A = this chain, B = another copy of it.
Amino acid sequence: MKMNEGVEWALHSCLNLAWIGADRAVTAARLAAYHALPTAYLNKQLQALARAGLVTSTPGPKGGFRLAKPLERITLMDVVTAIEGPDEAFRCAEIRKQGPGAQPEAAYRLPCAIAESMAAAELAWRKELAGTTLAQVRERAERRAPNAPGAIRRWFENS
């Protein structure tokens, strides 16, 4: 089971947009060039972020993407959901209802114990994702690479 690589791209792009600042819109082509990513595919991820209300997209020659809100109000879960969709990774197909052991529907009033146990574990993951803001991630990144934000800002300003 592999998460779409677009999640990594989207997370880096959100941090880059924060470092660039909300005063300028950045095209998908520029965001892609900074990490040597394919523009069309990154654009698809950015459009997904826009649909989720995490970035705004403005058309025209000075257009591009901006963060729609501060990183304090964007969580890892928001970005994962925007790119991957809201469905859980473990999807119960209710095979307990199939085959010779199948019971009348009333017997399945309570959820399958297997599905419930898998969902409980996945909830722990989602709680962590929802409890981590991109502001926390940015802070951690800046502690590790104090010069990166300035370098990123300058590259996007000068190119």
A contact residues vs B (CB 8 Å cutoff): 1-5, 7-9, 11-12, 15, 33-37, 76, 84, 87, 89-93, 95-96, 98-101, 107, 110, 112-118, 120-122, 124-125, 127-129, 132, 136-138, 140-141, 144-145, 148, 151-152, 155, 159
Check if A117 sits within 8 Å of B76, measured CB to CB: yes
B120 and A128 contacting across the interface, CB-CB below 8 Å: yes
Contact check: which of B12, B95, B120, B132 meets A8 at CB < 8 Å?
B95
Dominant secondary structure of chain A at its interface with chain B: helix
Given A35-B95, A37-B98, A2:B107 Cβ within 8 A: no
- Counting every copy of the chain, the complex holds 2
Q: Is the CB of B98 within 8 A of A35?
A: yes
Give complex CA distance A151, B102 in Å: 10
Contact of B121 with A140 in the complex, beta carbons under 8 Å: no
- 13 A-B residue contacts at CB 8 Å? A1-B2, A2-B89, A11-B114, A12-B95, A12-B96, A36-B98, A89-B89, A101-B151, A110-B144, A113-B138, A113-B140, A117-B137, A120-B128
